[in-house]
Chains A and B, each alone.
Chain A
Amino acid sequence: MSRAQRGELAEAAFWIALGMAALVASWRMDRLESLGINPLSAPGLVPGLLGALMMVFGAALGLRALVARAAASEAPTEKRRGTARVALALLLCVGYAGGLLGRGLPFWLTSAAFLFIAMLVFRFLDGEASPMWRTLLGSAGIAAAASAAISVVFQEVFLVRLP
C-alpha cells in the first residue's frame, strides 16, 4: 500500500469519526418535546444528516483508497515541503495572536516584537544577500513603522479598541 493510499485511509477514518460524533451528538440533542414543537423541526435534524453524509462520503473515500491501484491513487495533493518553516510560522503566529494579545501588553509593542522576529527569521531563512546589520536594522525599522501605522489607523481612524 502506497503512502498516498495510507494517507487517504487516515483521512477517511477522520471523516467517519467526525461524522459519527456529529450524528451521535445530534441524536442525543434535546428534541424540545416539552415545548410541543413539531418533531420534524428538531434542532438536531440537519447536523445529524450532515454527520451521516460525512460518514458515507468518508467511507467512499476509504473504499476508493483501498481498491485503487497504488499508482492510480496518487492524488494531486500539494507537496509536503517546508515542514520546519510551517512549524516556525505556526509557532510565531499562534504565539503572538493566541498567547500574547489580550493579556495586558500594549498592542503596538507585541505587534512590533512579532513583526521584527518574524521578518528577521524568514529573511534569514530565505537567505537574503544583505549584510546582517542591515537586515537587523531594516526589520526593526519596518516592524516599528508597520506596528505604529496599524495601531494608529485602526484605533484612531476606524475606532477599534485594540486587543
Chain B
Amino acid sequence: MEGLVLLGKSLAGLAGPWQILYALGATLFGILIGLLPGLSATLGIALMTTLTLKMTPTDAILVLVCVYVGAIYGGSRTAILLNIPGTAANAAATLDGHALAMQGRAGRAMGIATTGSVAGSLFGVVCLAAFTPLLAEMALKFQAFEFFWLALLGVLMSGSLTGSDPLKGWLMGFLGLFVAQVGLDGIHAHPRFTFGWNDLSGGIALIPALVGAFGFAEILAVLAEPTKKAVVSAVDSIVPRLSDVLRYWKTILRSGAIGVFVGILPGVGEDMAAWSSYAAAKRFSRERDEFGKGSVEGLIAAETGDNAAIPGAIIPVLALAVPGSAPAAVLMAAMIIHGVQPGPMLMVQHPQFAYDVVAITLVATLAILVFGLVMVRPLLAVLRVPRAIIMPVVFVLCVLGAYAIASRVFDIWVMLAVGVVIFVLRRRGYPAAPFVLGLVLGDIVDKNLRRGLVIADGDLTPFFTRPIAGVLAAIVIAMVLWQVGAGRRFLARSR
C-alpha cells in the first residue's frame, strides 16, 4: 500500500509541463539515436548525462530513461527497413521484421514492433515496481563478501554472454576492472598507476571512456565501410493492433518474463533478452515454420523481450548498484553524478526516488506509444541522410560529451584513446560490454575484496561459507569450470 502511495506521488510529480516536454524530447532523441545504425543507447545516455548535469536528479533520470527506452524502440525501425539492427538489441527483430517489409508490410511490421515494445516495457515496469523493494531488502544482508562475488559475477557473465568467445569477453572484463583501478584508491587514497600525472589522479572518468567505447569506436566502424543499402518504404498502416496482443498474449507474457530475467542478470543486456525470447517463442509456437519468413509472433517476441529487459536491467541498479546492461551502467553512473547512490540503502534512504524511476519508465513507455502512432514516417527521413554527413556531427557531439562533464581537455584524450583501443579489439572479436561493466564495477570489486579480507583477518573461508556468498562463488566457479570444459572439448575436437 505504501508503495502505491509513493508511486502515485511520483506520477503526480511527472505530470508537469516541463516533465512532459523533457519526456517527449528525450524519447524522440532516443528514437533518433536508435534509428541510426552504429549509435547505441549507451552512447545516447552518456551524451545526455553531460547535458542534464544542471537538472534535478529526477528530471535528469527522466531524460536518460526516456533516451534508453526510445533508443531500444527506435532501433527496430532500422531492423525492419534496412535489415540492419539500429542497436544490438534489435538484431533478432531483423529476422521477421525485414521479411515482413520485403513482403510490402513494413508499416504492419512497425506496428507490431510498437505493440511488442510497449507490452514488454509495461510488463517490465510492473516487475520493476514489484521486485526492486524485495531485492533491496534481501541485499541489506549483503556484506563485502557478497558484493565482491556479485560484481565479479557481473563482469564474468557479461564476458560469457555478450560475445562469441567467453575467453575474450573475460579478458575485456579484466581490462575494464584494471582500468578502474587507475587513480586514487578508494580506501587509503593512495595513487595507483598515475605516473605523477595530476589528471590521472582522479581516475579514468566513466563518461568519456563510455563515449569513446560506444561513440568514437562505432564512428570508426561505420566510416570504415560505405553504405549502399536501400531503404524499404512503408506504405501500409503503422497502427498497432489490439488483436495482436490478444492473439499472442502467451508469447508476450513469456517474452516479458524472459526479458526481465535476462535484464536482471548483471551485464547481459537487451540483445540477449531479444534472442532468448525469440528462441523460446519459436520453440513453443504452432507456426514455427513461419519464423524467419515474416512471423508476427517472432517479431513480437523479439521486441517484447528487449524492451522488457530495460526495466529488468534497472532493477539491480536500484537494489544492488550492479547494472544489468551497458546502458544501465551509464544510467547508474548518472545517478551517482546527480548525488543519488544506488544500492540496498536506496530503498531505506530515498524510497521515493526508486518509485520515481518506476513512474519514469512508465512515462517513457507511453512516450514511445505516442511516437509509434504519430511520428513514424517523418522520423524515417533520418535514414536517408548519408552517414558521411551524420557521423562527423556525432563525433563533434562525442568530443563535447566527453569534455563537458569536467571541462577537461584530458577527457577528450581519454575518449580518443579508449575509442581506438576498443575499435581495434572489437575487430579482433573482443566485445566492448564486459569492458564497460568492469569499468563500472572495478571500485566495488576492489573495495569489497580488501574490506572482506580485513574483516576476516585474511581468512578466505567467509567468501565461500556465508550462504549467499557461497552460492555466488559457486556460480562463478561453475561458470569458469564449464568454459574450461568447453575449451578442452574444443581442443580435443581440433586434434
Contact = CB atoms under 8 A, between A and B. Distances in A.
Interface of A: 7, 11, 15, 18, 22, 25, 29-30, 32, 35, 37-38, 40-47, 49-51, 53-54, 57-58, 60-61, 64, 67-69, 72-73, 75-78, 80-82, 85-86, 89-90, 92-94, 96-98, 101-102, 111, 114-115, 118-119, 122-123, 125-128, 139, 142, 146-147, 150, 154, 158-163
B192 A78 contact: no
A128 B458 CA distance: 66
Nearest to A15: B171
A38 B175 CA distance: 27
Given A41-B453, A60-B167, A126-B386, A163 B429 contact: no
A22 B442 CA distance: 15
Contacts of A118: 388, 391-392, 395
Nearest to B175: A54
Interface in B179-205: 181, 185, 187-188, 190, 192-193
- Residue among B193, B216, B219, B224 facing the most chain A CB atoms (10 A cut-off): B224
A41 B392 contact: no
A93 B429 contact: no
A46 B446 contact: yes
B466 interface: no
A111 to B, nearest CB: 5
A128 B227 CA distance: 11
Contact of B490 (A40, A72, A125): A72
B23 interface: no
Q: Name the interface size band of chain B.
A: 35 or more
A41 B188 CA distance: 9
Contact of B494 (A11, A73, A82): A73
B409 interface: yes
Interface string B28-54: 000000000000000000000011011
A149 B394 CA distance: 13
B185 A75 contact: no
B490 to A, nearest CB: 7
A38 B449 CA distance: 13
Interface of B: 50-51, 53-54, 164-165, 167-168, 170-171, 174-175, 177-178, 181, 185, 187-188, 190, 192-193, 216, 219-221, 223-227, 386-389, 391-393, 395-397, 399-400, 403-404, 407, 409, 412-413, 415-416, 420, 423, 426-429, 445-446, 449-451, 453-454, 458, 487, 490-491, 493-495
A29 B188 CA distance: 13
Contacts of B454: 38, 40-41
B224 A163 contact: no
A47 B54 CA distance: 35
Given A64-B487, A76-B429, A89 B167 contact: no
17 contacts: A15-B171, A29-B192, A37-B188, A43-B190, A44-B192, A45-B453, A72-B493, A86-B224, A93-B416, A102-B409, A111-B396, A119-B392, A122-B391, A123-B388, A146-B396, A154-B400, A160-B403
A13 to B, nearest CB: 13
Nearest to B452: A40
A126 B416 contact: no
Contacts of B423: 86
Contacts of B445: 46
A68 B181 contact: no
B188 A122 contact: no
A40 B450 contact: yes
